[in-house]
Structure formats: C-alpha cells, structure tokens
C-alpha cells in the first residue's frame, strides 16, 4: 500500500464553491479533477453544460487556494470551433498554471440533445479533420509549456501524472468499490451492479452483486496493445514474449512492419511507440496489430 496515495475527487465547476473546496481540503482527498470542458460560453451552451465560463474560472481560482494537484478536462472537435478558438481555450488554461490537463475529442452520445441538433441540421456534425488539427495544436502548445503527453489524452507536468489512470493503462490490478465500479485482477474483469438498492441489498445479505469476465490470453494481448500504444511507454516486445509467448511476438513483429515502414510506428529500446504522425491514427493501428483467433 502506498504511504501517500493519490485520492482524486471528480466534480464540475457548478458542484463546487469555496466552502465545499475548503471542506474537501481537510479530508484525505489530495487531487481535484474538474470538468471545465471549455472556457468559451458558446461551447458550453452547445454541450448543454450547467456551468458558465466565468464560473469555471472562479472555481479554479478558488481551488488553487486549497489544492496543488488539480486537473481539468477540455473538449476539442466541437462543431464550429475554429483553430483560433481552441488555441484561446488552451491559452486561458495555461494562465492558471495547473499541473495536469486531460483533453478529449467531442463524442456525440445517442439520444442526446446534441445528436438531435446534428440530425436536424441545426449544427454541423463533428469533423474528424478539425479534431485532428485541434489535437496537433493541443500537443504542440502543451509540450512547449513543459507538459508531458504521457497518454494520448493526458498531459501532466513531471510528478503530476494521474496515478489512478496510469495504473489502468499499464495493466495493473485495481479494485472498484460501489455501484457500477469495475475491478481487474490481471486475469478477470468484473463490474458491480449499477442499481444502488440491489448493490446495498447484496452487501447486507452477503451476496455478490457483480458480473465477471474471464480474459483469454488473446484478450489480454489485445488490451495491452490497445492501451500500451496510447502511452509514452509504448508496447514492450520483451513483455510480449514473457507474458504471451513467441507466437504473439512473431504476430506483432509481422503486422507492425508496414506501420514502421509508413513511419506511424517507431521501434525504440525494444518498445513500439506511435509517432506524431501516427498518434491520431492509433485506434486503427492497434486494431491492425490485434491477434484474431
């Protein structure tokens, strides 16, 4: 067990005021992850967020009074977002001198107001070309300011990488407690029932209220490829050989060659990494490397 565990609270700006932040600072919580999404009012309205841009800024200024370890979420690829507006979002974030920024491309969920607006032609659809341009601006801007792009969507100053999420990406074991929580023991993945009442009843009557998925060697290999390529640590060839065997290593070496030739993958210190050219193509490259039974 860690002597100084990272304990993160996730919240939106409208969830927090100075009294709440002060109370949190007197608990074991030592990291805040705040869902800002954008510092532009038009973006927040389009995404139907409950907070306003000035509320997000005020929340972060208050949080900085009580917490050193703060992360924010920012969304790019929003319909109508120009490169200039995205750059301004990043410039505003950098003024706050926060140690961690997570940034994701907008995804349109089914049965949401945003999906209906796009289907009805009232706003433009999400554009992959624009999102790719925004991601390039994101990486170039943050890396110039000393942030490390340690995982595709995550940028941290040294010593401020998310310990929790890094464990996921590196395939470490974890235990999830509470409704809907997921766990992983290296060979199995399990998830608790989402219903609060059923979960509590299960605890009271000593009945397991979770489902279990047994992972095959191929499942674990494919997951390691998928998560490893997203990170700065890449996919280790010696680890492939040790954990999965020679057939999986030969498969990986064979199927990665075309991507090495196309300079979207790089082999360095016996690890495969996505190049800058390959980063936004990572999901497709990973699927090409999957082992199919």
pLDDT mean by block of 10 residues, the chain; 293 residues = 84 96 97 97 91 97 98 95 96 97 89 74 81 95 97 96 90 89 92 92 88 95 96 97 96 97 97 94 95 86
Asked whether residue 16 is domain-assigned, the answer is yes
The Cα–Cα gap between 200 and 193 comes to 10
Is 132 in the same domain as 256? no
Q: CATH number of the domain that 159 lies in?
A: 3.30.750.200
Asked whether residue 3 is domain-assigned, the answer is no
| Full strand arrangement of the beta sheet holding 271-274 | 235-236, 271-274, 265-268
The Cα–Cα gap between 103 and 81 comes to 15
C-beta separation of 134 from 76 below 8 A: yes
C-beta separation of 260 from 204 below 8 A: no
pLDDT at 215: 96
C-beta separation of 142 from 155 below 8 A: yes
Number of domains in the chain: 3
Given the DSSP bridges, would you call strands 31-37 and 148-151 parallel, antiparallel or unpaired? unpaired
- Backbone phi, psi, residue 103, to 5°: -140, 130
- Backbone phi, psi, residue 104, to 5°: -130, 150
Is 254 in the same domain as 280? yes
Question: What's the domain range around 174?
Answer: 170-214
Asked whether residue 2 is domain-assigned, the answer is no
Is 208 in the same domain as 223? no
Is 68 in the same domain as 158? yes
Q: pTM for the whole thing?
A: 0.91
Is 225 in the same domain as 201? no
Is 199 in the same domain as 257? no
Is 186 in the same domain as 47? no
pLDDT at 1: 60
Asked whether residue 20 is domain-assigned, the answer is yes
Is 128 in the same domain as 54? yes
Is 260 in the same domain as 134? no
Is 109 in the same domain as 141? yes
Nearest residue to 70 (alpha-carbon basis) of 115, 101, 107:
101
Is 139 in the same domain as 193? no
Please give the torsion angle defined by the CA atoms of residues 85, 89, 91 and 96, in that order, rounded to the nearest 10 degrees.
Answer: 160
Please give the torsion angle defined by the CA atoms of residues 212, 213, 215 and 220, in that order, rounded to the nearest 10 degrees.
Answer: -100
The Cα–Cα gap between 99 and 101 comes to 7
* Run of H or E residues at 212: strand 210-214
Nearest residue to 10 (alpha-carbon basis) of 107, 100, 135:
100
Is 272 in the same domain as 285? yes
CA 82 to the chain's CA centroid: 23
CA 86 to the chain's CA centroid: 19
What burial letters (b/e) apply to 111-146, b meaning 16+ CB within 10 Å?
Answer: eeebeebbeeeeeeebeeebbbbbbebbbebbeeee
Q: CATH number of the domain that 250 lies in?
A: 1.10.10.920
């Amino acid at each position: 067990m860690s002597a100084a565990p990272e304990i993160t609270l996730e919240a939106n700006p409208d969830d927090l005021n100075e009294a709440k932040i002060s109370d949190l600072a007197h608990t074991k919580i030592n990291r805040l992850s705040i869902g800002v999404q954008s510092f532009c009012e038009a973006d927040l309205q389009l995404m139907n967020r409950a907070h306003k841009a000035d509320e997000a800024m005020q929340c972060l200024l208050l949080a900085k009074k009580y917490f050193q370890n703060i992360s924010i979420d920012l969304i790019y690829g929003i319909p109508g977002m120009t490169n200039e507006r995205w750059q301004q979002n990043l410039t505003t974030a950098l003024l706050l001198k926060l140690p961690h920024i997570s940034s994701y491309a907008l995804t349109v969920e089914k049965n949401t107001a945003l999906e209906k607006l796009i289907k009805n032609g009232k706003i433009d659809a999400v554009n992959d070309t624009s999102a790719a341009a925004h991601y390039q601006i994101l990486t170039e801007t943050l890396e110039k300011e000393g942030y490390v792009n340690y995982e595709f969507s995550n940028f941290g100053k040294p010593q401020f990488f998310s310990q929790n999420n890094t464990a996921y990406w590196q395939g470490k074991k974890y235990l999830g407690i509470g409704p809907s929580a997921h766990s992983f023991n290296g060979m199995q993945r399990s998830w608790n029932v989402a219903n609060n009442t059923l979960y509590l009843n299960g605890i009271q009557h000593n009945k397991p209220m979770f489902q279990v998925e047994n992972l095959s060697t191929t499942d674990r290999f494919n997951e390691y490829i998928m998560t490893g390529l997203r990170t700065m640590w890449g996919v280790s060839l010696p680890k492939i050989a040790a954990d999965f065997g020679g057939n999986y290593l030969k498969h990986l070496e064979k199927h990665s060659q075309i991507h090495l030739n196309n300079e979207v993958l790089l082999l360095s210190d016996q690890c495969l990494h996505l190049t800058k050219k390959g980063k936004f193509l990572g999901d497709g490259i990973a699927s090409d490397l999957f082992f199919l039974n």
